[in-house]
């Protein structure tokens, strides 16, 4: 098949959507397909551009300074129209997503969309709390309208499928968790010397155990909750260092919060790290913590498990069927007190046992299985088109 992947974020950007699209692009190529990616230019794009990865002119997005907005030109549109795609697979509901739907509409190929992001959790960046309910209602209606323009929609978890059905989406939905190259996260890959060097780079004192978070430093990730809990955790377990890896609008706020709480010396906020080296940073962790409710799948949880860490997360529907509480992760209630107790458990012998089960829990989320399931989705949509079972949506 000739496949076009259209996304508003791609490697070398580091986030769940960019990683998912990169893994799908590489694995579909390994399976013999011709795959082209269209994405905005971003920092470092020059090193990865090729005949099949097309970076589009872009400008910084005013509302999210760490994101770029694509500016597709007529040359790009003509080139994409000449590709004769069998499948257009969009991974964005915005500019590059619209480019993909335009190409699909004018060539008559199959249209697949992956709904990666629960946008109602992100309206705060536009409204700043003013008229937020109105914005959330608009996002729900927009998501319904968008998803009903496709032959099939892919979601990573049943949580997202249920949400789209509540919005009123009628398009067939396939639940396909995003995959990853599990081999690169294998604990045995990282030597003691490498771990020591990475710990020193992150400012971790010798002998400290590491409570790790990797991801975007933003409101929806609920990192402030983790910091609220950390002083009491550190009082009980003074050998624990909190290490936060990532960039985002909340970075300065988190640094100031750590100072206000009197734990700045035991909190390392070390900034973003290159995606191709991110496995080195998981390797220094003992416990991976998340208090987010905004994840559609939570790839970082699976990366942490594949790295042999004990995952401690505030329970969320996205984790249903992924982890078993007390067996492959420690799942916490929503309160600060419950998260504290779950973290204490994660650093106990129970957490040690979970770490030994973690790699096995991540095994179903390989890139191979991911690409195979997506390929089946494409084939189903193509078959339905041939049989006239899939409506042509304008």
Residue-wise pLDDT for 243-298, tens only, equals 999 999 999 999 999 999 999 999 999 998 988 899 999 999 999 999 998 887 78
**High-pLDDT (> 70) share of the chain, %:** 97
> C-alpha 331: how far from its chain's center?
19
Sign of the alpha-carbon torsion through 334, 302, 246, 52: negative
**High-pLDDT (> 90) share of the chain, %:** 78
Q: Where are the alpha helices (DSSP H) in the chain?
A: 16-30, 74-81, 95-107, 124-127, 132-147, 158-167, 192-201, 223-236, 251-260, 278-282, 299-306, 336-346, 349-362, 367-386
Please tell me the number of Cα atoms within 13 Å of 300 on its side-chain side. Answer: 27
Q: Both tokens of residue 1?
A: 């098949």
Angstrom distance (rounded) from CA 74 to CA 6: 16
CA-based end-to-end distance of the chain: 23
Q: Both tokens of residue 379?
A: 């084939």
DSSP per-residue letters across 174-224: EE----B-GGGG-GGGS-HHHHHHHHHHTTPPTT-EEEEEES--SGGGTHH
Cis bond before residue 380 (omega within 30° of 0): no
- pTM, two decimal places: 0.81
- Per residue in 19-77, pLDDT (tens digit) is 899 999 999 999 999 999 999 999 889 988 999 999 999 988 766 666 788 999 999 99
Angstrom distance (rounded) from CA 251 to CA 216: 9
- 299-306 vs 349-362: helix axis angle to the nearest 10? 110
For residue 45, give the 3-state DSSP assignment.
helix
Q: Of the spans 11-20, 230-239, 246-255, which averages the highest pLDDT?
A: 230-239
Q: Of the spans 7-11, 118-122, 296-300, which averages the highest pLDDT?
A: 7-11
- Name the maximum alpha-carbon separation found in the chain: 66
pLDDT averaged over every residue in the chain: 93
Q: Both tokens of residue 93?
A: 């509901």
Q: Which pLDDT belongs to residue 43?
A: 86
Taking a C-beta distance cutoff of 8 angstroms, is the pair 154, 176 a contact? yes
């Amino acid at each position: 098949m000739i496949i076009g992947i259209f996304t508003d974020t791609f490697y070398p950007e580091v986030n769940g959507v960019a990683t998912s699209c990169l893994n799908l692009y590489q694995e579909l190529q390994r399976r013999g397909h011709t795959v082209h990616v269209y994405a905005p230019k971003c920092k470092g794009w020059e090193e990865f551009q090729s005949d099949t990865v097309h970076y589009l002119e872009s400008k910084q997005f005013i509302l999210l300074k760490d994101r770029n907005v694509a500016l597709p030109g007529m040359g790009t549109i003509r080139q994409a129209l000449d590709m004769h795609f069998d499948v257009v697979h969009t991974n964005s509901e915005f500019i590059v997503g619209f480019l993909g739907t335009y190409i699909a509409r004018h060539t008559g190929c199959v249209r697949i969309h992956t709904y990666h992001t629960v946008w109602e959790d992100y309206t705060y960046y536009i409204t700043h709390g003013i008229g937020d309910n109105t914005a959330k209602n608009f996002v729900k209606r927009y998501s319904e309208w968008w998803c009903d323009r496709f032959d099939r929609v892919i979601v990573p978890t049943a949580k997202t499928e249920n949400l789209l059905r509540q919005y009123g989406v009628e398009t067939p939905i396939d639940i396909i968790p995003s995959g990853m190259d599990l081999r690169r996260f294998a604990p045995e890959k990282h030597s003691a010397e490498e771990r020591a060097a990475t710990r020193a780079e992150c400012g971790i004192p010798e002998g400290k155990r590491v409570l790790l978070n990797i991801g975007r430093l933003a409101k929806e990730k609920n990192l402030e909750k983790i910091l609220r809990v950390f002083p009491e955790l550190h009082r009980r377990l003074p050998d624990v260092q909190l290490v936060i890896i990532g960039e985002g609008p909340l970075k300065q706020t988190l640094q100031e919060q750590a100072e206000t709480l009197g734990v700045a010396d035991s909190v390392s906020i070390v900034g973003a790290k290159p995606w191709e080296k991110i496995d080195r940073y998981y390797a220094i962790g003992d416990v991976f913590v998340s208090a987010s409710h905004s994840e559609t799948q939570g790839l970082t949880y699976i990366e942490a498990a594949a790295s042999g860490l004990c995952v401690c997360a505030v329970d969320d529907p996205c984790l249903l069927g992924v982890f078993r509480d007390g067996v492959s992760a420690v799942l916490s209630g929503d309160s600060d007190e419950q998260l504290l107790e779950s973290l204490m458990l994660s650093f106990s012998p129970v957490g040690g046992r979970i770490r030994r089960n973690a790699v096995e829990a991540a095994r179903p989320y390989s890139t191979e299985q991911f690409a195979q399931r997506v390929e089946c989705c494409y084939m189903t949509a193509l078959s339905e088109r041939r049989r006239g079972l899939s409506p042509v949506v304008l």
